[in-house]
Amino acid sequence: MFKPPSYKILPRQGDPRKFAQHGVTLEGYIPVSELNRIVDATESSEGEVAVNLEFTVSEERKKVITGTANAELSLICQRCLEPVIVPVKSNISLAVVWDEEEANNLPKHLDPWIAGEGVADLYEMIEEELLLSLPAVAYHQESCLDGNLYSSGKPVEVNKEKNPFQVLEQLKSSPKS
């Protein structure tokens, strides 16, 4: 795949509070192999996550991170149990906070990212956002199984003579004394 010269590996570490104060924008990619929990949740460690992050200070004076993380990940199709490539997109909208108390006081449109003082692991934050964006069930868009494998094509005949509920039907229709 052709990559423009500005398309480079995203730094793993960074100080989100300083980035927000200075209005930093980060754009690049992360190799999927660097995201251990994504590798554990998928079938392959190949590929890249394209990331675009913008660090700003909001009108509420909160240090905010907005952006996107996009990847094509290999998951298991729940129909045929074979690998399927699924596009995963995460829209990131986080506020950098110190603790749970500060997180509880955030506006509804912002999710908290509890980060200590100094540098934080940006890969960990992006990995968490991607995990939250994984589909509950992955499957091929086209039919991946032959319909004859799971259906006989013949209508099912119900044998009314051996119906176990026939006794209940007789009790229901009998007169009450």
Q: Which of 65, 66, 70, 3 is nearest to 30 (CA)?
A: 70
pLDDT at 1 (0 to 100): 43
Please list the pLDDT of the chain residue by residue as tens digits (177 residues). 445 545 699 889 999 999 999 999 999 999 999 999 999 998 988 889 999 999 999 888 889 999 999 999 999 988 888 899 999 999 999 999 888 888 888 888 889 998 878 889 999 999 999 999 999 888 888 777 665 555 555 555 655 566 777 777 777 777 765
Q: What pLDDT is attached to residue 73?
A: 92
Beta bridge partners of residue 31, listed in sequence order: 48
Q: Would you give the DSSP letter of residue 93?
A: E
In this prediction the pTM is 0.72
Element at 16 (helix H, strand E): helix 16-22
| Beta-sheet strands, E only, within the chain | 13-14, 25-31, 48-57, 63-76, 83-97, 111-114, 120-121
CA neighbor of 1 nearest in space, from 46, 61, 59: 46
User: If DSSP codes are grouped into helix, strand and coil, which group holds residue 148?
Assistant: helix
